[in-house]
Copies of this chain bind each other. A is one copy, B any other.
Amino acid sequence: MKKTVDIITRLSEHGYRLTPQRMMVLAAIEKSDHHISAEEIYAQVVTKYPHFNISTVYRTLELLHRLGLVTETDLGGGRVRYHPADKGHHHHLVCQECGRVIDLDESVMDHLKLVLRRDYNFEPDIRHMAFFGTCADCGK
């Protein structure tokens, strides 16, 4: 399990600056126990740093995602949710009827990953997927 300090090292190694804003966004994501939204990160940081702007949250999230340190997932609800990539890769089933979110083990995507690599020579970024559909209860 990677720690915040390792992510900081990665940023530094890639030549990105270690700004207080980035450190606070990172802390908010790492300490969150759920799939956090940009607005939630903003709300946490702005209490300590009143000038803080939400566009910095989005830019930091884009950077962390591009470096593979954070996953971005649309779980419905009209906003994207973020999760530290090191806190376990997993996927979700989202019921479009009742909104229920079912956790899925990472391994369910292994076969598809293999096919895309082998048959299409494509390296997919499948670390945190959400599939929409109808759950057992709602399907009668």
Task: Using CB atoms and an 8 Å cutoff, list the residues of chain A in contact with chain B.
Answer: 74, 93, 95-96, 102, 104, 108-109, 111-112, 115-116, 120-126, 131-136, 139
Contact B136 A93 (CB under 8 A): no
- In the complex, what residues of B have CB within 8 A of residue A139's CB? 121, 123
Contacting pair B124 A102 (CB below 8 A): no
What residue of chain B has the Cβ atom nearest to residue A119's Cβ?
A: B108
Nearest chain B CB to A85's CB is how many angstroms away?
A: 14
What does DSSP make chain A's interface, helix, strand, loop or mixed? mixed
Residue in chain B with minimal CB distance to A132: B125
Bound CA–CA A108/B114 (angstroms): 11
Is B131 a contact of A124 with CB atoms below 8 Å? yes
A93 and B112 form a contact (CB under 8 A): no
4 cross-chain pairs, A with B, having the tightest CB-CB distances, nearest first: A121-B136, A124-B133, A123-B134, A125-B133
On whether the beta carbons of A120 and B134 are closer than 8 Å, the reply is no
Q: Which residues of B contact A74 (CB under 8 A)?
A: 74
A131: B residues at CB distance < 8 A:
116, 122, 124-126
Q: Tell me how far the C-beta of A129 lies from the nearest C-beta in chain B, rounded to whole angstroms.
A: 9
